[in-house]
Structure 1
Amino acid sequence: MQKKNNKETMKRVLKYIRKYTPALVLSLLLAGLTVLLTLYIPILTGNAVDLIIGKGQVDMAGIFAIMKKIAIAMIITAVGQWIMNTCNNYITYHVIRDIRTDAFAKLEILPLKYLDAHAYGDIVSRVIADVDTFADGLLMGFTQLFTGVLTILCTLGFMLVTNVPITLVVVCITPVSFLVAKFIATKTYSMFKEQSETRGEQTSLIEEMIDNQKIVNTFSRGEAVKSKFGEINGRLQKCSLKAIFFSSITNPATRFVNSLVYAGVGVFGALVAIKGGISVGRLSCFLSYANQYTKPFNEISGVVTELQNAFVCAGRIFELIDEEPQVPDAADARVLEEAQGNVDLKDVYFQYVPEKKLIQNFNLQVKPGQRVAIVGPTGCGKTTVINLLMRFYDVNSGSIKVDGTDIRDITRGSLRTNYGMVLQETWLRSGTIRDNICMGKPDATEEEIIRAAKASHAHGFIKRLPKGYDTVITEDGGSLSQGQKQLLCITRVMLCLPPMLILDEATSSIDTRTEIKIQNAFATMMEGRTSFIVAHRLSTIQSADVILVMKDGNIIEQGNHETLLAQGGFYANLYNSQFAV
């Protein structure tokens, strides 16, 4: 299974590398050139040694000529290695850029059910930490693997030409290195996999705690969080130590094999030299080759363990890229220009998980301009209805139509453009106040922005900010209160004024006095627009044309405020529980 995963991952990596074939070819050519020149230098050195015959028998002119050749070879090798490393860096970081681009693009089209089912920290870890680790392994592979293999092959060829018997000594001891490398590679794969997964779990916890630090402090969960972090950190320490231990024994083990090779060449070569079968210069050349022949095994064995880690990380990022995207818009999907606001839900069934039923046989007809309020206990399906209207999720069966067209036959972009949405949870991005307001209408004029802010009663607090509408805020709103962040989200919708509105607890974080003003602004905004209002505070939806009372995914009551109170049913009990004296 491990071999199959590595093979598939390698195929995927090669597809990304294929775009940079010219740089790869140049890198391989330069690797070959530098290896040949590196192996040529020992020959020159051996020739120089042979020119030193004895006292007073030294050919200085010949030695200086050889030294010049060595200097030229070294300069060319250095320049070639620099260009080769530049090519390797170019390939590696362009491949990493492409992988991250594909991963982020996939995040944009993944269905919400994937994001709901996976910890955000783990996803971030895959796109950031795992890709960085893969980059390190890939760069090491380019830098050391190519040159290592070429060095082994070329050195073997040079040694065979120089002396076959001594070469056989080297070749006979070499397989020990392969056995050592294979043993360590097999052990380290599962350990690096566990390390990567645990690191993702740790990243997820850290991100969650940073985002919710106020809540952690409020409920005095600091010690519990520390304990959980300590447990994860301990597991990460153990699996990291195991992975590092096994990968770290690679170098000493292969160096031991290298020493055996060097000793074998030295002893056997000396015996051959005594019998006149090889000159001292050639023997010194051979000893140099023995070092150069065995050195790549050290590098390759180190690369193998790094590549195991890299393949694990690459596998995790490819898992994300390979996730099933949301169902794309149909080729003939209609672009909804300006919706009239006629919404029809017929025989709708939906559930997040198969074993837990939620929305069942849901039917609703909304005429253009109607205000529909949805109330009910927590978990009854109110927000789920909103998710279905916006097509964040598709219905399991039944249909939802807008202006007579099934929303599955309408492009998602145009459908959502026709909705203005204010949620209980605010969402702001890093940028100025102006940037956050005109998110849905980037070309809005200053007058339009200020008019919308005044309509939502946000203009006053914005003008009190250090730079007014040019004040830069962070993604969590910085020093803004929850109510102020909510007002900015309301302003955003006020600016666009789409034909349909969704208000999901839109005033939940606003004080009562401001809420009255906002309700008046909403009343003006909702004139002639189909509106869906989700609320727990029933005072905010008394003027709705239709109130849907939901329980366990079903509509149990339906009517206006007065009608439902007169029925004395579930709605009446909810209302009286809030307003009874």
Structure 2
Amino acid sequence: MSPGVSADGWRIYRRLLGYAGRYWYLLLAAAIGMVVEAAAAGAFTLLMRPMVDEAFVARNPEVRLALPLSVLGLFIIRGLATFATDYGMARAGRSVVRDLREALLLKYLRLPSARFDAEPVPALVSRLNYDTEQVSQASAEALKVIITDTLTIAILIAVMLSQSVRVTLAMIVVVPLIVAISGYVSRRYRRINLGIQDGVAQMAQSAEQTLAAQQEVKVYGGQAEEASRYSALANRNLYLNIKVETTRAAASSVVQFLAALALAVILFVAGREAIKGRMTAGQFVSLMTAMMALLPSLKRITNVQSAIQRGIAASERLFSVLDAPEERDTGSRPLARARGEIEFRDVRLNYPGQQRPALDGVSFIARPGTVTAVVGRSGSGKSTLVRLIPRFYEPDAGQILLDGVPLQEYRLADLRRQIALVGQKVMLFDDTVAANIAYGAQSQATPEAIRRAAEAANALEFIERLPQGFDTRIGENGALLSGGQRQRLAIARAFLKDAPILILDEATAALDSESERLVQDALAHLIPDRTTLVIAHRLSTVEHADQVLVLDQGRIVEQGTHAELLARDGLYSHLYRLQFRETEGA
């Protein structure tokens, strides 16, 4: 165990090293290289004795050629060993980083949606990028230093003992002090590095938020405020990094002072041994060479505590995600294609930290092939309701049934295959038009099927005008397309999936009149023969729904057709008249 690593830290570090176990062949090659490196360092110091005693004192001509060739051969072997060590550890370390990143991204995709509500995406990305890099340093670079330099120190001390036990024991007196300093520095590093990694995540979040809203920042004159916010986070991170470097520099200086103290002790005791005839000049030079070779190893072992503790702190953050509970998928009932009858029975849902329930006693039935519109004021629970159907969230009470079976009894992947989702905020990927339409489980769709889906979604006309047609890359989240074009690609994706349940979450709310007309026309072709749930901001778009659910503060306060609800002169009628007046005023 590295000095200063706590039992808990060692447990985390052992688990991290477990990821490197699958690359045992690389680690074995590196380990052999480390042993040879350390042995070469010891052998070189041993060569100093005959070099001085035979070549300079006894003036023996036989060693004139042998000793230089021995040194040359020794360093060739050491060079090969260093290459094996560096390559093996680097390859294993980078492989561990790759494996952790893959495991982390896969884990993110299996976490409940509530996790993404509680933690901002930049913080999640920081774990994926920054924390895994710290793990690389701890699992490869730091491990190399610990093993190589520990072996080197052990072999050099053995060499020194072979030359003079008295002198070596006098020097070893300072070793407990160096170990104590390493332990203190290690504990301090871990505390500070946890703060640094949290700070990096906060900086990433602040920067992403500012740059994503750069137009609003400019229009409302928020440049100074955002720069100040980021500057405060950057300064805190600077302060913590300076604390790390100050601790490292101070520890290194103290260790070097202790090493100088040990050197002074060696000189004193060695001088006395030489006067008494118990030490030759060659032994003294060999001892001094070993002592000078020890100093860099001692310094590196002291400094490496920072990398180890950064790695442990990063691993702790990574493992907190990897150990987090995943979406519940305990169902065993297969589902090829649902009829599409959806029933809510007294469903209640509370978000963590919220006093008022997001949904409270919601009950309704959506018959197969019908359109159910969900309307209400902002924050009334509309989006929450439809997100319970793909089980993005789990209700706290009540039941949701599909074709008379509770959702939890279906296999999660089978359930989600029954659902197509088109939202106001369309998510597209930095890929081709065709890849965005034939996404996920539909990736094997034929070009003809993709073209038919695009045509049905009124997207073919603009796709054919793109430089490479269906093979045109559209940028991050479809940055090269307009809002209406992005929405029609999302509809084409839903056409291609051909799911029996369709969820439209304010799919036309942010579109201009022309784009809305094209999207509404595409939706009119998509909706028939599916169970459709429509969250509508513009109430004029739900006039032909089979039933309208009016939500207020998480409860269904009205239910019926558009005409029935207008006749009741309740909340729906009030909202409709408000929108009608706004339209008239416009």
Q: Same fold (TM over 0.5)?
A: yes
Of residues 11, 23, 26, the one that matches 1:20 is: 23
Amino acid at match of 1:352: Y
For residues 168-223 of structure 1, the C-alpha deviation after alignment (integer angstroms, 9 at most, x for no partner) is 11111222222322232232221222111111110111122233333333433222
Whether the 8 Å contact between 1:483 and 1:510 is mirrored in structure 2 is yes
Cα shift at 1:167: 1.1
Counterpart of 1:136 in structure 2 is 137
Counterpart of 1:246 in structure 2 is 247
Distance 2:405 2:507 in 1: 28
Counterpart of 1:268 in structure 2 is 269
For structure 1, list consecutive stretches of 5 or more residues without a partner in the other structure: none
Counterpart of 1:76 in structure 2 is 77
Counterpart of 1:455 in structure 2 is 456
Pairs within 5 Å for 1:197-212: 197-212=198-213
Distance 1:521 1:104 in 2: 34
Distance 2:515 2:235 in 1: 50
Counterpart of 2:14 in structure 1 is 11
Pairs within 5 Å for 1:96-107: 96-107=97-108
Cα shift at 1:302: 0.8
Distance 1:45 1:453 in 2: 80
Whether the 8 Å contact between 1:170 and 1:290 is mirrored in structure 2 is no
Whether the 8 Å contact between 1:359 and 1:552 is mirrored in structure 2 is yes
Whether the 8 Å contact between 1:421 and 1:493 is mirrored in structure 2 is yes
Counterpart of 1:121 in structure 2 is 122
Cα shift at 1:2: 7.9
Whether the 8 Å contact between 2:32 and 2:81 is mirrored in structure 1 is no
Whether the 8 Å contact between 1:456 and 1:490 is mirrored in structure 2 is yes
Whether the 8 Å contact between 2:17 and 2:139 is mirrored in structure 1 is no
Cα shift at 1:338: 1.3
Counterpart of 1:401 in structure 2 is 401
C-alpha change, 1:5 and 1:209, in structure 2 (3 Å) is farther
Distance 1:127 1:103 in 2: 7
Query: What is the SS of the residue equivalent to 1:158?
Result: helix
Amino acid at match of 1:342: E
Distance 1:454 1:94 in 2: 44
Cα shift at 1:138: 2.6
For residues 88-117 of structure 1, the C-alpha deviation after alignment (integer angstroms, 9 at most, x for no partner) is 112222222222222122111111111110
Whether the 8 Å contact between 1:258 and 1:295 is mirrored in structure 2 is no
Cα shift at 1:543: 0.3
Counterpart of 1:497 in structure 2 is 498
Counterpart of 2:51 in structure 1 is 48
C-alpha change, 1:79 and 1:514, in structure 2 (3 Å) is closer
Distance 1:445 1:21 in 2: 43
Distance 1:334 1:218 in 2: 54
Distance 2:14 2:571 in 1: 61
Name the stretch that deviates more: 509-518 or 387-396.
Answer: 509-518
Paired residues in the alignment total 577
For residues 393-444 of structure 1, the C-alpha deviation after alignment (integer angstroms, 9 at most, x for no partner) is 1111111111111111112222122112110111000111111122252233
Whether the 8 Å contact between 2:439 and 2:493 is mirrored in structure 1 is yes
Question: Among the aligned pairs, what percent are the same residue?
Answer: 27
Cα shift at 1:159: 1.8
Amino acid at match of 1:397: A
Amino acid at match of 1:24: L
Whether the 8 Å contact between 1:486 and 1:509 is mirrored in structure 2 is no
For residues 131-178 of structure 1, the C-alpha deviation after alignment (integer angstroms, 9 at most, x for no partner) is 102212332322211111112222222222221111111111222222
Distance 1:474 1:520 in 2: 26
Pairs within 5 Å for 1:175-186: 175-186=176-187
Q: TM-score normalized by structure 2?
A: 0.94
Distance 1:262 1:173 in 2: 10
Amino acid at match of 2:423: L
Distance 1:528 1:452 in 2: 16
Distance 2:368 2:55 in 1: 103
For structure 2, list consecutive stretches of 5 or more residues without a partner in the other structure: none
Name the stretch that deviates more: 7-16 or 225-234.
Answer: 7-16
Distance 1:516 1:281 in 2: 95
Cα shift at 1:571: 0.8
Query: What is the SS of the residue equivalent to 1:556?
Result: strand
Cα shift at 1:375: 0.6
Runs of 4+ in 1 over 4 A off after TM superposition: none
Cα shift at 1:368: 1.1
Counterpart of 2:375 in structure 1 is 375
Amino acid at match of 1:11: R
Task: Please state if 1:166 is matched with 2:130.
Answer: no
Query: What is the SS of the residue equivalent to 1:547?
Result: strand
Whether the 8 Å contact between 2:104 and 2:321 is mirrored in structure 1 is yes
Cα shift at 1:53: 5.1
Query: What is the SS of the residue equivalent to 1:102?
Result: helix
Counterpart of 1:317 in structure 2 is 318
Distance 1:401 1:313 in 2: 42
C-alpha change, 1:460 and 1:509, in structure 2 (3 Å) is farther
Query: What is the SS of the residue equivalent to 2:372?
Result: strand
Cα shift at 1:505: 0.9
Counterpart of 1:477 in structure 2 is 478
Counterpart of 2:531 in structure 1 is 530
Cα shift at 1:4: 4.2
Amino acid at match of 1:138: S
Name the stretch that deviates more: 209-218 or 459-468.
Answer: 209-218
C-alpha change, 1:451 and 1:579, in structure 2 (3 Å) is same
Name the stretch that deviates more: 368-377 or 261-270.
Answer: 261-270
For residues 350-380 of structure 1, the C-alpha deviation after alignment (integer angstroms, 9 at most, x for no partner) is 1112633121111111211111111100111
